[in-house]
Structure 1
């Protein structure tokens, strides 16, 4: 009985190499989460959340859009929580296909984010009460963005991901510039450059994935 064409080995060595490359690319796509689903939710969360902060607590105490004082923080926390749920689901689904050291690395890295942010929130909640509202907002935002940049750089070093590492550096630089400009401006800078940077990084990482 003759073998089907699909069962015959390729006769051309170049075709064999192309077949191997296609299979490797398919494996990478199957095991690697879509970077857009990991970065775009956070980019949108920062763009919306910090954007609302800027509209309510503008430079020099200016109010561009009148709203209750609690609303900007509520919007930001809700957006960040939603982004965390989305990325956590995407990461967990991808992690089920991987076992061994790589899976443990991913789990420990995700746990590090949670512990770091909880610890920072507890510390800031004690200190921010001693500051005026604009300075307290800047303290919270600056510290959280600084922690995010550092964790992105750590993740880039851990996974040998240059895009993620550069994103962490960019976030850190944007944060320093915003803090130097002061309350109000920090929210605008982080919303546009920080959130927008995550959207761009997600697109670049996706375009760099094997096809």
Structure 2
């Protein structure tokens, strides 16, 4: 049997595990970090849609009916409420698509948790609309707006904390805590103030958080790339 073996790859040793235990540990850590990066959603596409929805939607509510009943822009109540819920639905769709692309390759309990968690969002807000619709008709306009906004934001904060607890995601849980705290502060402050607090601290806070997480992920990616090049260089020199 004859043949030409000149075309066999010369870097077969790169496929072998590193002989140095420290290099092996670094390689394992790099692979784990890369897997975690691939299975983590792009937080910019998660925070920015929600941030814009809250900034614009609650901003319109504030302009419609500010503190002490002051009207900055004359418009019917249905306009800011419809805008807010339309933007929230859009943000939910974008978040769902982002999550589906990220976790679609996951099977087992994690995938089941994701489906049930998404169902909790849908049924939760459907229940809010079904209950608050008839009740708000019997309230003054400022209290009706506060009721809708306070309950919706409160449910959002609770669901974020639940998601953080399910996946042990500290960032998601902290976001839920932040949303819940500013919602309580806004409700205590009263109609008008609540919309302003949620618009700026909630929506604006999410926009800032999206940028922070994006920069953090880029920094981690750059660090991982440098570490990978360093490990490969070390192995090739042996």
Query: With structure 1 as the length reference, what TM-score do the two structures score?
Result: 0.91
- Pick one of 94, 116, 134 that aligns with 1:108: 116
Structure number with greater Rg is 2
Deviations 1:38-94 (A, max 9, x none): 222111110111011111111122122233443211221221121111111111112
- Pick one of 171, 179, 198 that aligns with 1:163: 171
2:36 matched residue in structure 1: 28
The answer to whether the Cα contact below 8 Å between 1:163 and 1:205 also exists between their aligned partners in 2 is: no
| 1:196 positional shift | 2.3
Spell out the pairing of 1:82-161 with structure 2 (5 A cutoff): 82-161=90-169
| 1:163 positional shift | 1.5
The answer to whether the Cα contact below 8 Å between 1:37 and 1:87 also exists between their aligned partners in 2 is: yes
| 1:147 positional shift | 0.7
Deviations 1:159-205 (A, max 9, x none): 11112112111111111111111111100001111112323444454
Q: Which runs of 4+ in 1 moved over 6 A?
A: none
Q: How many residues align?
A: 211
1:37 aligns with 2:45: yes
The answer to whether the Cα contact below 8 Å between 1:54 and 1:184 also exists between their aligned partners in 2 is: yes
CA distance in 1 between partners of 2:16 and 2:127 (Å)? 59
1:4 aligns with 2:10: yes
- Pick one of 37, 54, 60 that aligns with 1:46: 54
Cα RMSD over matched residues? 1.9
Secondary structure, counterpart of 2:137 in structure 1: helix
CA distance in 2 between partners of 1:74 and 1:17 (Å)? 54
Secondary structure, counterpart of 1:74 in structure 2: helix
CA distance in 1 between partners of 2:63 and 2:194 (Å)? 12
CA distance in 2 between partners of 1:203 and 1:114 (Å)? 27
The answer to whether the Cα contact below 8 Å between 1:46 and 1:76 also exists between their aligned partners in 2 is: yes
Unaligned runs of 5+ in 2: 222-238
| 1:97 positional shift | 0.9
1:190 aligns with 2:161: no
| 1:8 positional shift | 4.6
Spell out the pairing of 1:49-64 with structure 2 (5 A cutoff): 49-64=57-72
